[in-house]
Structure formats: structure tokens, C-alpha cells
Amino acid sequence: MNKTKLLLLAIGLGVLACTLDESSIATAYLDLPKTPYTYSNDTVNNYVATLGRVLFYDKQLSINNSVSCASCHKQELAFADNVKFSKGFENRLTNRNSMPIQDLSPGFSISLFNGITSNSITFTTNIAVDPALTIFAGSGGTFLFWDGRESNLREMVLKPIGNHVEMGIRDMKDLETKLAKVPYYAGLFQDAFGSPEITSEKIGRALSAFLFSITTTNTRFDMASRGQAQLTALELAGQALFTTTYECNACHQVQAPHGYVFAGAFSNIGLDAQDTDDGRGGVTHQNADVGSFKIPSLRNVALTAPYMHDGRFETLDEVIEHYSGGMANNPNLDPRLREGDAPMRMDIPKYDKEAIIAFLNTLTDHKMTRDEKFSNPFKHK
């Protein structure tokens, strides 16, 4: 090799080193158990979920190998992010706050929460079970994203890959070709689907199978309702204030995994007098829905700061302060938060605030956020 060629090679490697960051795929290797973990009892095929786990953590799902799903959805934060807006593949910011990923299967709520009833919850019954893979198809029932613009998880998981801010691979065919050149995928697709062929449909199935397996079944709140733990007096006081006194659970259904009532899943809580983000209104094109957002699940809420669709509040204290006396007189303010024509003032005293926050802290599932089977399978040598 002559000097010019060597120089060109060196420049080439230099460019490569700049586009891949230090945790790049070049130095990473897969560290998966030979027999996959049991992702769930009966709803998820383990090999499909394992493939989904690899895809979720693989930066090669972005156009310049710089971000993975996990860049904005971090396991230790219940798969949310700890910044107002997250950075995409070109360091541009998302226009909404990243969301936790948990309890996304509509089938899950029925099997797991049998026996815990709520008069205002109506569970969806039209669950389509995929006979070949026994994965809940997520038909109906779930609203995905802050504005609920997607409902089918299998299709939804491909959207961030194509998104111009998030991962930037516009054409799914390009992704199929790209992943076909990555050595470990042939075997993973073979194990999951009986053939090494890579299609975006299979990518959607695998990612959604992995996401469906992430559930919050081991919070202290759940353990207490199963008689396996005892909440403290302060936490119990907080639960009563949350449910009865301030009626937070008219919207936030903490006992149901999705966290919201299916009929009436969106609400405008008067963050501003005038909205800058149309929210649900951008999907339905109804004036009455402008500034309404999906009622977020409060499971793992202690880990998912900053709060609201735009990450405007840093702490739970600030959130409660908003309900206490900070709601703006937005024309679409939810009637449940009005008193006559004016925004309700809850005037929540200090002790009540502390108790509510103590209660919200019982909704954290530390097992889920530490579970090895949801962790990054790429290790560095």
C-alpha cells in the first residue's frame, strides 16, 4: 500500500471514528444468554422479545449510528428520559418530553388486575391474539404518544426510526438492507421467526414483543394490594387524599396499568391560558381537544421527571403546586378541574402534599428498572 492510500485510509478511519461515538457498535459485543430469559408467562415469545431487546439498544437503527431507542428511553428511569426534550441523531431536540415505556399491552390489564375493580374503568375486550406468536396485537384500547395518535404498538415502534429528529431512517427498506449486513441479526431473526430474512414487519413485531413484556407488577402499592407489603401511615394518608379528597384518580387510575380511563383518556389541565401545542386537537382537529394530552400513568412517576408533555416541571412538588393554585383559565380546561367558570383552587396544605408524594413514591417498580432482561445487551470489551 503506498503512502497516499495509507493517508486516505487514515482519514477514512478518522471520519468513521467521529461519526461513531465511544460506545460505538464497533467495540460492543452481544452478551445474551443461550436460552432467552422468560419474558412473560404466555403473552410474549421469548426469542422474539430477545431480538426486540437487541434492536431497542442498537444504535444502528439510526441513520448515523448515534442513537438507539434506549438513548431517550432509559431503563433506570422507567424507560423515560431525565431532560425536558431528548436529543436525536443530529443533536436536534424532540418537541415533547420522552415517555416511560411500561404496561403497554391491553391484554395485560385484564389478566393482571383481575380482582381489583374500579367503578370508572372499562377494560377493552377486543384483544386480538396473534396465534402464531401469541403476542397481543394491541388493537384498540391503547393510546400511544402524548396525543394518542397511534394505537397499534407494532406499527408505532417503527415511527421513531423514520422520524426526522429522532433516528432519521426514512425508508424502512434501507434499514432492512443495513441490518442484513450486521452479523448477529441473521441468527436472531432465525431463532425468532424461523428464517434469517429481515423485514420491517418483523422488526415491529420484535420491538413490540420486547416492550409488551415491560410491566410494573412489583410496586409496593401492588404488593400491598396483594397482601405482601404494608404501606406506612403517611403513604396510606396520601392514598386517601389522592383518591378521595382531591379526586386525582378521577383521571389518574393508579390501580390500572394504563393509568387512564379509556373513555376520556385526554385532558387539558390548564398549564397555560393559551396552548402552544395542539396536543389531541392536532389529531382530532376538534377545537375542544386543543391542549389536551393523554392522562399519563403515574406508575414509576418518581423516576420520570421532568413532568408534563413539555417537561416544564422539575419536581412532583411543582406538579402538586400547579393543581393547588396554579391552573390557568384555559377555554378547554377539563370540567373536573373547574369550579363554576374559574379554575379550581385545591389549596393543598403542606402535610397533604407530603402525603401525596409519599403515596406516589409507592408506585415505583424497582424490579422492572433493574431487571437484567430489559438491560443493554451490548457490552464493551
CB 195 within 8 A of CB 48: no
By CB under 6 A, tell whether 323 contacts ligand HEC: yes
CB 169 within 8 A of CB 63: yes
By CB under 6 A, tell whether 303 contacts ligand HEC: no
Could you tell me the three cell numbers for 18? 467521529
Residues whose CB is less than 8 angstroms from the CB of residue 104 and which lie 6 or more positions away in sequence, other chains included: 138, 142, 144, 153, 208, 211, 212, 214
By CB under 6 A, tell whether 135 contacts ligand HEC: no
By CB under 6 A, tell whether 209 contacts ligand HEC: no
Of 33-41, 113-121, 308-316, 361-369: span binding ligand HEC (CB under 6 A): 308-316
Looking up cell 390500572 gives: 256
CB 246 within 8 A of CB 356: yes
By CB under 6 A, tell whether 198 contacts ligand HEC: no
CB of 111 to ligand HEC, least distance (A): 19
CB 211 within 8 A of CB 157: yes
**Considering all CA atoms of the chain, what is the largest pairwise distance in Å, rounded to the nearest integer?**
83
Nearer residue to ligand HEC within complex by CB, 336 or 366:
336
Looking up cell 389478566 gives: 111
Residues whose CB is less than 8 angstroms from the CB of residue 151 and which lie 6 or more positions away in sequence, other chains included: 138, 139, 140, 141, 142, 143, 144
Binding residues among 277-296 for ligand HEC as defined by CB under 6 A: 293, 295-296
The closest of 323, 303, 321 to 365, measured between CA atoms, is 303
Nearer residue to ligand HEC within complex by CB, 46 or 68:
68
Number of shown-chain residues binding ligand HEC (CB under 6 A): 48
Nearer residue to ligand HEC within complex by CB, 133 or 308:
308
CB of 180 to ligand HEC, least distance (A): 18
By CB under 6 A, tell whether 334 contacts ligand HEC: yes
Q: Which of 32, 63, 188, 248 binds ligand HEC (CB under 6 A)?
A: 248
CB 163 within 8 A of CB 88: yes
Binding residues among 71-110 for ligand HEC as defined by CB under 6 A: 71-73, 86, 88, 94, 96, 98-99, 101
Binding footprint of ligand HEC on the chain (CB under 6 A): 61, 67, 69, 71-73, 86, 88, 94, 96, 98-99, 101, 144-146, 157, 160-161, 166-167, 207, 211, 246, 248, 250-252, 267, 269, 271, 293, 295-296, 298, 301, 304, 307-309, 316, 319-320, 323, 334, 336-337, 356
